[in-house]
């Protein structure tokens, strides 16, 4: 009877949690994430020993830490993906509140690690970047507001979510962290578009972003320096962008060989923001294309599964998480090839960084939870029944 009403359903709700989770999870997306993490460890073995040597540490210090934090991220991802959307939403709200408070207190208790932007809390043995944990929580909370606004007599959810986005972007701009601010705005814009926003409003918002960017360029030396470096047709070969550009050029199609790359000896962020330059130099364009294909697979498969989703909240939150995941990867790689200004953004599951890995595990775990197969009809079934 269930199949007659809802279509073919591979879910038997009386089953134990793990077998039901295994049947309903998107195995292709999860496999791509595991492969990205494996590639990150491989590239970490190539890129981090020079930095460890400069800091007087064990050659594989950063690799072992990446393996540890990555293992925690994978466990968090799997556990989160087992939750139902309602539980994910509750935990995301709690996590968002905690991350937002931490973000607001950064100017008082945060540190910049001599990088010119106060983005981290330092605990000696580790550091935490609140904005990494804020992003998935914000997406879920904003999706909840928008979904509630579409109900009869519901609140003005789109307005609430926009005000929340503006507040978060303001805090991020004060650090300054314009890359994360742009990612938050993009995530909100995607969900707003999926929720049925008029194109005139989206065009107006795009104009507002350009206006705010112009003000930031005039008032922020940090922002202006990065834009000027991006617009300058001559790349200083002694800068990070210069080293990265040269490494990508030297790598060619098949790379210079494992361990033969030189950019890792020159770039202080070779294991984080510019990890793709190490991949391009030592393994060539082929490796970069594989990495791009893995990110594309996760995003496309997630969006295709969400197209069949009839729960408004799940559809909006899933789209926001999937697009944020893909755009963050695109920004990181775009900076390395000078398609975008420098942003200081990691490559999800590939770059070194405890906050990035664990927050990425939470975000992808939420995405996998939202894209699990559930006993429901697809959107085409619903529209077909409405027309009869």
> What are the pLDDT digits (tens) for 166-196?
999 989 888 878 888 889 999 999 999 898 8
On the question of pLDDT at 154 being above 60, the answer is yes
Q: C-alpha angle with apex 112: 52 to 363, nearest 5 degrees?
A: 80
pLDDT band at 365 (very low <50, low <70, confident <90, very high): very high
Q: Does 200 map to a domain?
A: yes
- Counted domains in the chain: 1
pLDDT band at 90 (very low <50, low <70, confident <90, very high): very high
d(CA 349, CA 73): 9
Q: Does 201 map to a domain?
A: yes
Render pLDDT for 322-337 as a digit per residue (tens, 0 to 9).
999 999 999 999 888 8
pLDDT band at 238 (very low <50, low <70, confident <90, very high): low
Q: What is the pLDDT of residue 164?
A: 94
How large is the average pLDDT for residues 59-71? 91
pLDDT band at 114 (very low <50, low <70, confident <90, very high): low
Q: Does 387 map to a domain?
A: no
Q: Does 85 map to a domain?
A: yes
What the block records as the tokens of 331 is 């920004």
d(CA 230, CA 222): 13
The residue among 19, 62, 94 whose CA lies nearest residue 354 is 62
Furthest C-alpha separation in the chain: 72
Range of the domain at 352: 2-379
DSSP string, 192-224: HHHTT--HHHHHHHHHHHHHHHHHHHHH-HHHH
pLDDT band at 386 (very low <50, low <70, confident <90, very high): very low
Q: Please, what is the average pLDDT of the chain? A: 84
On the question of pLDDT at 247 being above 50, the answer is yes
Task: Return all residues near 297 (Cβ < 8 A) that are at least 6 apart.
Answer: 28, 29, 32
pLDDT band at 118 (very low <50, low <70, confident <90, very high): confident
pLDDT band at 229 (very low <50, low <70, confident <90, very high): low
Q: What is the pLDDT of residue 358?
A: 94
More confident residue, 6 or 271: 271
Q: C-alpha angle with apex 319: 316 to 320, nearest 5 degrees?
A: 85
Q: Does 385 map to a domain?
A: no
Render pLDDT for 267-314 as a digit per residue (tens, 0 to 9).
777 788 888 988 999 999 999 999 999 999 999 999 999 998 889 999
On the question of pLDDT at 383 being above 60, the answer is no
Render pLDDT for 340-364 as a digit per residue (tens, 0 to 9).
877 778 899 999 888 899 999 999 9
d(CA 172, CA 184): 10
Q: What is the pLDDT of residue 1?
A: 39
d(CA 338, CA 176): 21
Q: What is the pLDDT of residue 376?
A: 60
Render pLDDT for 13-51 as a digit per residue (tens, 0 to 9).
556 788 889 999 999 999 999 999 999 999 988 888 888
On the question of pLDDT at 161 being above 80, the answer is yes
pTM: 0.87
How large is the average pLDDT for residues 99-123? 82
On the question of pLDDT at 103 being above 60, the answer is yes
């Amino acid at each position: 009877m269930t199949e007659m009403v809802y279509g073919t359903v591979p879910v038997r709700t009386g089953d134990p949690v793990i077998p039901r989770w295994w049947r309903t999870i998107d195995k292709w997306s999860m496999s791509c994430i595991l492969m990205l993490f494996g590639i990150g460890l491989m590239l970490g073995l190539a890129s981090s020993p020079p930095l460890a040597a400069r800091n007087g540490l064990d050659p594989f210090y950063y690799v072992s830490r990446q393996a540890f934090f990555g293992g925690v991220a994978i466990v968090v991802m799997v556990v989160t993906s087992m939750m139902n959307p309602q539980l994910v939403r509750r935990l995301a709200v709690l996590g968002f509140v905690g991350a937002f408070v931490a973000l607001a207190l950064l100017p008082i208790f945060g540190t910049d690690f001599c990088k010119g932007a106060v983005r981290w809390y330092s605990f000696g043995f580790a550091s935490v970047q609140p904005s990494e944990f804020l992003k998935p929580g914000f997406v879920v909370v904003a999706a909840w507001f928008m979904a509630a606004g579409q109900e009869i007599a519901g609140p003005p959810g789109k307005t609430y979510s926009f005000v929340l986005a503006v507040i978060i972007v303001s805090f991020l701009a004060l650090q300054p962290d314009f890359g994360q601010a742009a990612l938050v705005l993009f995530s909100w814009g995607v969900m707003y578009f999926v929720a049925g926003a008029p194109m005139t409003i989206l065009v107006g918002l795009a104009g507002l972003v350009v206006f705010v960017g112009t003000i930031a360029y005039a008032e922020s030396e940090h922002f202006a320096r990065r834009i000027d470096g991006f617009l300058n047709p001559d790349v200083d070969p002694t800068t990070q962008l210069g080293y990265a550009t040269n490494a990508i050029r030297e790598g060619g199609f098949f790379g210079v060989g494992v361990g033969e790359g030189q950019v890792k000896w020159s770039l202080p962020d070779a294991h984080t923001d510019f990890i793709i330059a190490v991949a391009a130099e030592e393994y060539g364009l082929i490796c970069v294309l594989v990495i791009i294909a893995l990110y594309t697979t996760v995003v496309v498969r997630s969006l295709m599964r969400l197209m069949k989703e009839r729960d408004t909240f799940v559809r909006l939150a899933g789209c926001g998480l999937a697009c944020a995941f893909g755009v963050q990867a695109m920004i990181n790689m775009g900076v390395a090839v000078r398609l975008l200004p420098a942003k200081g953004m990691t490559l999800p599951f590939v770059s070194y960084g405890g906050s990035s890995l664990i927050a990425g595990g939470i975000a992808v775990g939420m995405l996998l939870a939202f894209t699990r197969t559930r006993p429901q009809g697809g959107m085409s079934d619903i529209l077909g029944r409405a027309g009869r």
